[in-house]
Structures are given as structure tokens and as C-alpha cells.
Amino acid sequence: MLEVCGLTDPGCVRANNEDYFLVEPELGLFLVADGMGGAQAGEHASRLASDFVRDKVRLSPLPSTELLVQAVQEANQAVMQAAARNPQLEGMGTTLVAAWYFVPADGAEPELLVASVGDSRAYVCDDRGLREVTDDQTWVNEIGRRLGIDDATLKVHPMRHVLTMAIGVSQPLRVNTYRISLRPGVQVLLCSDGLHGVIPASIISEGLMNNARNLEEKCRFLVDAARSAGGPDNITTVIVRAS
């Protein structure tokens, strides 16, 4: 059995919210997308990609990593085609991290099948603490660190915000996949970089590990922490808990 809650906030600087999240318990699908592009294009990209993945999942007979990746890749094509048809949407794109609930037929523990593009993240939090599941598809993570640039320099590097992959930007699309075992009590956090790029992992852990809070209160704690740290970007959290 799963509990889930999501929350999004424009933050303290941005006039609009280009983040989008989906919580679809009946499908077992949970998703966060962080749009980019001029005018309303980023909002359009994040919603279009998310809704496309949901609609493809709805038609799928059983959850599988292959079907989830296919849905994300087809969402990429849909966003690119929408931008090609409308000059006002040119250059739009979005990150995306999606988790699909899967119960193995052999009676093993349920899992979340995770697919990610860009730098929206998935974390797992359990009795061993908080751990990052996904790998950012960013210049910092995929190039800067391989060049041996230290973290202090990377934090102020002019390329620190550059994505190496995003939906709507390139074809073919490279989709990273992961699996998370859902033992009772395990929490999974999906979030945009307006959260993880603003507050440290210690604060994220504090928010998730406090069992006196329900999931809604945990989402609000994390969003408020990012806002208190300046809230320079849109902030989105989705928390899934196995019970």
C-alpha cells in the first residue's frame, strides 16, 4: 500500500511556475517535470510531457521499465513536434523524473520503476538515511566532475546550470533508469532542482525523517525550507511512502 503527496510552489523570484507534477495512485504513476523556455513555453512543455507519459502508461497492460522508457521517448517527440508547429513554443523543453509502481509476479517486494531525464531527482529515505537515486544529466555531473574540477569551483562555474539532456531538445533521447525496492516505511522523494539545488541534503533528510509529520507536512516543510533559502526557482516535491 502506498501513501503519496505532492506540492509545487513558484518560489520567491519567478513570476510563473514552469514545474508540473502528477500523482496518479490508480495508475501507480508519480512524476515531476521542470519546464524551460520563453514566455509560457516551459509550462507547456512540462505539462505536455507529463500528460503524455500518463496517457501512455494508462494504455500499458503491466508496468515495465521498457514501457516507461518508451513513454518518455515518445513524450520527447510530442514536445518537439508541438514546438515545431508553434513558433511561440520554439526552444521549449523539460526535465522529467517518473516513478511507476510495480508488483512482481513472484511475490517479491514491490518496486518503483524510475526513469529520469535532466536534473529532476529521485531520493530514497529509509532507516539507513537519505540516498540520491538518480544521476543528474548536467554539464557539472557528466563533464565537470570527470575533468576533476572540485565541488567548490563547480558551484560557481558558468556551466553549472547547463543540462546535457532534456525532453524536447534532442533526438534520440537518453533516458536513465533505476529500480527502488519498497519495503514498508521506505519513502521516495521526487523533486525539481528548485529544491535539491537550493537546500542541502541534510535539510531534505530532516524533513523526511521526522515521523511526527504526515506527508503533506513533509512536503510543506521542504518547500518552506527552499523558500527560506531564497527560493530562486520553482519548487516541487512528491513524496511516496510504502506502508
Query: Looking at this protein, which amino acid is placed at residue 32?
Result: V
**Residue 177 maps to which CATH number?**
3.60.40.10
Report pTM. Answer: 0.94
Number of structural domains the chain divides into: 1
Which of 13, 30, 43 has its CA nearest to residue 198?
13
**pLDDT tens for each residue of the chain, 243 residues long:** 899 999 999 999 998 999 999 999 999 999 999 999 866 799 999 999 999 999 999 998 899 999 999 999 999 999 999 999 998 898 899 999 999 999 988 878 999 999 999 999 999 999 999 999 999 998 878 787 777 777 777 677 677 777 999 999 988 999 999 999 999 999 999 999 999 999 999 999 999 999 889 999 999 999 999 999 999 999 999 999 998
In sequence order, the 6+-apart residues with CB closer than 8 A to the CB of 85 are none
Q: How many other CB atoms are found less than 10 A from the CB of residue 170?
A: 13
Query: Looking at this protein, which amino acid is placed at residue 206?
Result: E
Per-residue pLDDT tens for 151-166?
A: 777 677 677 777 999 9
Under 8 Å between Cβ of 93 and 167:
yes
Q: What local confidence, expressed as pLDDT, does residue 94 receive? A: 97
Q: Whole domain around residue 115: which residue ranges? A: 2-242
Distance between start and end Cα atoms, the chain: 5
Q: Which helix (H) or strand (E) holds 59?
A: none
The secondary structure of residue 234, as a DSSP letter, is: -
Q: Quote helix, strand, coil % in the chain, to nearest 5.
A: 35, 30, 40
